[in-house]
Structure 1
Amino acid sequence: MEATVLQDNFAVRIDGIDLSTLDGDDLAEAKKLWMENKIAIFTGQDLDDDGLLAFTGRLGPLFVHVQQNILGDGPDEVMYMSSMDAVAPVAGDLAWHSDQSYTPGPVFATILYGITIPEDGGNTLFADLTATYECLPDYLRAKVDNVKACYSPVKKGRPRRRPMKDDQIDELSDIWHPLVRKHPYLDRKALYLSPNHMTRIGDLSEEDSDALLEELIIHASKFVYSHRWTPGDVIMWDNTQVMHRRDSFPSTQPRFHKRTGFHLPEELRTPVTA
């Protein structure tokens, strides 16, 4: 295993391992590197669904997306995300968000496996929300500490590529999470931002909430890692410490990824105020 930290405590590339058989001390070391650096990029992988799930399942309880209608033809725990999907193609850009922020216990880690990569665009960008919080000026910290934000399953701005069904929306409703949360394992605090789904901050009006959110996004944009995909890359990120987005890419160029994720243990799943 060869590890290279790409930015200051943010994003580590790990070469020379096969995720489908990774276990024991090597798995523990890879998990430690990932958690410390928030994102881990594993290169040169060749995984079928079983291999991808075997790796994911060794890290935690498997995640199944609440929207069953966007899953692929394989196991429920594997999402197929393709620009070639005739019904709901993945295309264009995707705004900043944190996965499943609109659920009571958001997924801890997301794992994305790049198989077919467009020639132009389609990069995935990650913002370090631990560093963002640490560098906030005092006046902004006063606005976010001990404050909760409301998250909605209905996406802001551009609608979902395959909209949620009414019964799925009814099951979720709106939910409040701390705007600053404590990491479940590390002695760290991080902003918890998911602009795609945040509708209100504390008791602020919608206008004031949007203004504060925009100011926080500006600060977060100072701590960004942009990943240019290569086929065989697997990226794992910690949703308690980062938010992410996708750059636009031409609809004529194919892009295909598989996605899995894992939860925290049940007793740690609900976000905790820092």
Structure 2
Amino acid sequence: MGEKSQLKIEPLTPAIGAEILGVDLTNVTPELIEGVRAALLKYKVVFFRDQRISPRQHIDFARAFGDLEIHPATPKNQVDPEILRLAHGPDSRGSENMWHSDVTWREKPSLGSILRAVEVPAVGGDTLFANMTMAYERLPDATKEKIHDRIAVHDIARVFAKRLNKRPEELHAKYPLMEHPVVRTHPETGEQVVYVNGAFTSHIKDMDPQESKSLLDELYKSAWNPEVQCRFKWRANSIAFWDNRACQHFAASDYFPAVRVMERVTIAGDRPYFQHSSN
């Protein structure tokens, strides 16, 4: 069957994550893309070590999975606008240390991101990932009933008003408040996924504010259980590729004032929906 059947894969935990061994991302074939896509759907995040790829090769690898996004935090004059550089050190403490799914403030949040480690601290700076299908499955039946068919509101300004030094109204003019189902159906696997996060979700629509807050707090905590997680220790030239539709991630900001530099290319996704189970 070609390279797809030959991929050597080592799971990180029973819940989520796998390392793909023995591949060279400077030599990408259709068979490799097919195999990586299948592994991504199964494990929700896949990892590669020792990939000395150029920015152009990084972009080309990501583009093999779909159209690419440009993040509003990317400098306007950057040569490769598809690359979002995330750099922290003595003058910038890492701030991605909350469980979240990326860009849920978009009408069509991303399919996934491919993150490459450029420079990493000797200790710390790991990224954790949580399987949000498993998180949903472990919710009490009463909670599942409460969130069935519910809609949540997502707001870019919750994070990026401060980071981009813009007023919320400025951001909302270009990125208006967005509504997505609290539980989304994965468009490729059909799995049900908890799709609210502490970074960008502001409230559940048409619900009493206090009830909304309490319910969201419970849903956010569904990612906190180590039994639905994996933890990846970075080395220079390591790569993580996560399915943003199926998992949340948390970048541990425990390395200050050491330097951590990452580069991310993100693949555009589709509009989240909820499909009733046929069971």
- Is this a same-fold pair by TM over 0.5? yes
On the 8 A contact 2:114/2:240 being kept in 1, the answer is: yes
On the 8 A contact 2:161/2:171 being kept in 1, the answer is: no
On the 8 A contact 2:186/2:192 being kept in 1, the answer is: yes
Structure 2 unaligned residues grouped into runs of 5+: 1-6
Hey, what does 2:3 align to over in structure 1? none
Hey, what does 2:265 align to over in structure 1? 260
Q: Relative to 1, partners in 2 of residues 1:217 and 1:136: Cα closer, same or farther, differing over 3 Å?
A: same
Q: Distance in 1 between matches of 2:199 and 2:77?
A: 23
Q: Distance in 1 between matches of 2:212 and 2:233?
A: 33
What are the equivalent positions in structure 2 for 1:219-258 lying under 5 Å apart? 219-222=222-225, 223-258=228-263
On the 8 A contact 1:93/1:122 being kept in 2, the answer is: no
Q: Relative to 1, partners in 2 of residues 1:160 and 1:259: Cα closer, same or farther, differing over 3 Å?
A: farther
**Structure 2 residue matching 1:220: 3-state secondary structure:** coil
Q: Distance in 1 between matches of 2:37 and 2:257?
A: 37
The answer on 1:28 being equivalent to 2:7 is no
Q: Relative to 1, partners in 2 of residues 1:164 and 1:5: Cα closer, same or farther, differing over 3 Å?
A: farther
**Structure 2 residue matching 1:10: 3-state secondary structure:** coil
The answer on 1:191 being equivalent to 2:197 is no
Amino acid at match of 1:64: I
Q: Distance in 2 between matches of 1:211 and 1:139?
A: 14
Hey, what does 2:205 align to over in structure 1? 202
On the 8 A contact 2:223/2:248 being kept in 1, the answer is: no
Hey, what does 2:138 align to over in structure 1? 135
Q: Distance in 1 between matches of 2:258 and 2:78?
A: 22
What are the equivalent positions in structure 2 for 1:96-245 lying under 5 Å apart? 96-155=99-158, 160-164=162-166, 167-222=170-225, 223-245=228-250
Q: Distance in 2 between matches of 1:213 and 1:255?
A: 31
Q: Distance in 1 between matches of 2:239 and 2:77?
A: 18
TM superposition score normalised by structure 2: 0.88
Q: Relative to 1, partners in 2 of residues 1:120 and 1:59: Cα closer, same or farther, differing over 3 Å?
A: same
Report the alpha carbon displacement of residue 66 of structure 1 after superposing the two structures with TM: 3.0
Q: Relative to 1, partners in 2 of residues 1:85 and 1:105: Cα closer, same or farther, differing over 3 Å?
A: farther
Report the alpha carbon displacement of residue 68 of structure 1 after superposing the two structures with TM: 4.0
Structure 1 unaligned residues grouped into runs of 5+: none
Q: Distance in 1 between matches of 2:133 and 2:266?
A: 21
Q: Distance in 1 between matches of 2:10 and 2:161?
A: 38
The answer on 1:73 being equivalent to 2:74 is no
Report the alpha carbon displacement of residue 159 of structure 1 after superposing the two structures with TM: 6.4
Q: What RMSD in Å do the two structures reach over aligned CA positions?
A: 2.1
The answer on 1:56 being equivalent to 2:56 is no
Q: Distance in 1 between matches of 2:77 and 2:242?
A: 22
Q: Distance in 2 between matches of 1:129 and 1:97?
A: 11
Identity fraction in percent: 23
Amino acid at match of 1:73: Q
On the 8 A contact 2:121/2:258 being kept in 1, the answer is: yes
Hey, what does 1:273 align to over in structure 2? 274
Amino acid at match of 1:131: M
1:119-142 CA-to-partner distances (Å, cap 9, x unmatched) read: 232111111100011121110101
1:160-201 CA-to-partner distances (Å, cap 9, x unmatched) read: 433346533321121110011111111211111221111111
Amino acid at match of 1:81: L
The answer on 1:5 being equivalent to 2:8 is no
Amino acid at match of 1:200: H
2:21 to 15, 20, 31: 15
Number of equivalent positions: 266
Moved over 6 A (4+): none
**Structure 2 residue matching 1:142: 3-state secondary structure:** helix
**Structure 1 residue matching 2:143: 3-state secondary structure:** helix
TM superposition score normalised by structure 1: 0.89
